[in-house]
């Protein structure tokens, strides 16, 4: 997703985008800051800006930004762009020297399809010392048309020789309001729950989700099961049974509203997958393989219609309609 779709870090991102567009951004960078605040997404947004086919130009008011729609932007979001190299820890939890060597080798060529190669090392502090040493020369003098971004929440674990060769961009914690925005938009939280969770989250989306992980995972699993059942167009009895997975019989309106928001976010993802949209924008990227088999069932506008039905169900619930009646009604609309 382009810079404008990232939450928080406004000034830092704008400064970075302007420097990138001017050609004055140093080619070896460390994106440092707490866990779970969007550093890797920012690195991908930078890669999009460098390679976008129709990047929006800058003026005094707006910083330059990628379009998010062109083939280049979409391939970067799906992590299949030939010039965007991403290295992350393997099964052992470490980034090995062979991975660093491969990265150096692959970044030695001119970009294949884009204007600028971007090599992103995620969890860069997991690099073994040998891997960091192997990278020194490249970080000192990267190949022309290449940018290296080391993403880390523990920059001080990196060797001083690595740190001294990179310009450090400091990402701060998100504000509670930013965290709440993301929790509502992407994770099905009600406004009250989102603000409560955000206050305890120390500016990290990751931490906010952890705090509530069991109930959240449970709600998500039920909603995914409901969607799978309805995707098959069951008979009326099957529909009512699927609707029960919204948990209306527990009488907890908050919990049901959360499940409806989760359902809306999965339907939005399905809609995006049906029209082959930017997969970097998926709110439930971790569920992609679970959603994929449902794509054909939700073609032809069904995802969009179902999404509006969930929206209606939510407002009915807010207007104090009976949860059970809302759940039954919705089960016949999806
Ligand atoms: Zn673009």
Q: For residue 266, name the pLDDT band (cuts at 50, 70, 90).
A: very high
Ligand 1 mean position, distance from CA 64 (Å): 12
Q: For residue 46, name the pLDDT band (cuts at 50, 70, 90).
A: very high
Ligand 1 mean position, distance from CA 72 (Å): 6
Ligand 1 mean position, distance from CA 106 (Å): 23
Average pLDDT, the chain: 90
User: CB of 90 within 8 A of CB of 99?
Assistant: yes
Q: For residue 199, name the pLDDT band (cuts at 50, 70, 90).
A: confident
pLDDT in tens, 312-329: 999 898 888 999 999 999
Ligand 1 mean position, distance from CA 2 (Å): 9
CA–CA dist 64, 67 (Å, integer)? 10
Q: Is the four-CA dihedral 184, 188, 191, 194 of positive or negative sign?
A: negative
CA–CA–CA angle 197, 155, 179 (5° rounding)? 15
Q: Residue with structure tokens 């998100």?
A: 174
Ligand 1 mean position, distance from CA 21 (Å): 14
pLDDT reading at 257 higher than 80? yes
Helix/strand number for the chain, H first, E second: 15, 5
Q: For residue 255, name the pLDDT band (cuts at 50, 70, 90).
A: confident
pLDDT in tens, 82-123: 999 999 998 889 999 999 999 999 988 889 888 999 999 999
Ligand 1 mean position, distance from CA 268 (Å): 22
CA-only gyration radius of the chain, Å = 22
Ligand 1 mean position, distance from CA 67 (Å): 4
pLDDT in tens, 121-137: 999 999 999 999 999 99
pLDDT in tens, 298-310: 998 999 999 999 9
CA–CA dist 96, 98 (Å, integer)? 5
Dihedral pair phi/psi, residue 30, rounded to 5°: -115, 125
- Let me know how long the chain is: 334
Ligand 1 mean position, distance from CA 1 (Å): 10
Q: Of residues 207 and 179, which shows the higher confidence score?
A: 179
Ligand 1 mean position, distance from CA 10 (Å): 20
Q: What is the Cβ-side half-sphere exposure of residue 221, based on CA atoms within 13 angstroms?
A: 6
Ligand 1 mean position, distance from CA 78 (Å): 13
Ligand 1 mean position, distance from CA 49 (Å): 7
What is the percentage of the chain residues whose pLDDT exceeds 90? 63
Ligand 1 mean position, distance from CA 280 (Å): 13
Ligand 1 mean position, distance from CA 276 (Å): 15
Q: What is the pLDDT of residue 193?
A: 81
Q: What is the pLDDT of residue 16?
A: 96
Ligand 1 mean position, distance from CA 56 (Å): 9
Ligand 1 mean position, distance from CA 196 (Å): 37
Ligand 1 mean position, distance from CA 81 (Å): 12
User: CB of 283 within 8 A of CB of 186?
Assistant: yes
């Amino acid at each position: 997703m382009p810079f404008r779709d990232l939450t928080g870090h406004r000034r830092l991102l704008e400064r970075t985008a302007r420097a990138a567009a001017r050609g004055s951004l140093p080619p070896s960078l460390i994106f440092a800051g707490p866990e779970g605040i969007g550093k890797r997404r920012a690195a991908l947004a930078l890669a999009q800006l460098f390679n976008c086919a129709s990047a929006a130009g800058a003026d005094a008011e707006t910083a330059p930004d990628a379009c998010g729609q062109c083939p280049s932007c979409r391939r970067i979001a799906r992590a299949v762009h030939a010039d965007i190299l991403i290295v992350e820890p393997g099964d052992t939890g470490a980034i090995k020297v062979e991975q660093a060597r491969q990265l150096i080798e692959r970044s030695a060529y001119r970009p294949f399809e884009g204007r600028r190669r971007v090599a992103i090392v995620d969890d860069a502090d997991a690099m073994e010392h040998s891997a960091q040493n192997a990278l020194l020369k490249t970080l000192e003098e990267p190949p022309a048309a290449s940018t290296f971004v080391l993403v880390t929440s523990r920059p001080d674990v990196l060797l001083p020789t690595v740190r001294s060769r990179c310009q450090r961009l400091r990402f701060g914690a998100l504000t509670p309001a930013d965290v709440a925005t993301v929790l509502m938009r992407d994770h099905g939280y009600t406004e009250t729950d989102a603000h409560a969770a955000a206050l305890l989250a120390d500016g990290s989306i990751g931490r906010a989700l952890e705090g509530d992980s069991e109930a959240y995972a449970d709600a998500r699993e039920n909603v995914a099961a409901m969607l799978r059942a309805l995707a098959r167009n069951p008979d009326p009895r099957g529909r009512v049974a699927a609707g029960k997975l919204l948990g209306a019989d527990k009488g907890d309106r908050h919990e049901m509203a959360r499940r409806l928001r989760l359902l809306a976010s999965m339907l939005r993802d399905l809609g995006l997958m049906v029209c082959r949209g930017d997969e970097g924008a998926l709110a439930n990227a971790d569920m992609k393989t679970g959603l994929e088999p449902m794509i054909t069932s939700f073609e032809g506008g069904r995802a969009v219609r179902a999404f509006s039905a969930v929206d209606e169900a939510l407002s009915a619930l807010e207007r104090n309609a009976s949860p059970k009646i809302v759940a039954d009604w919705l089960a016949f609309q999806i």
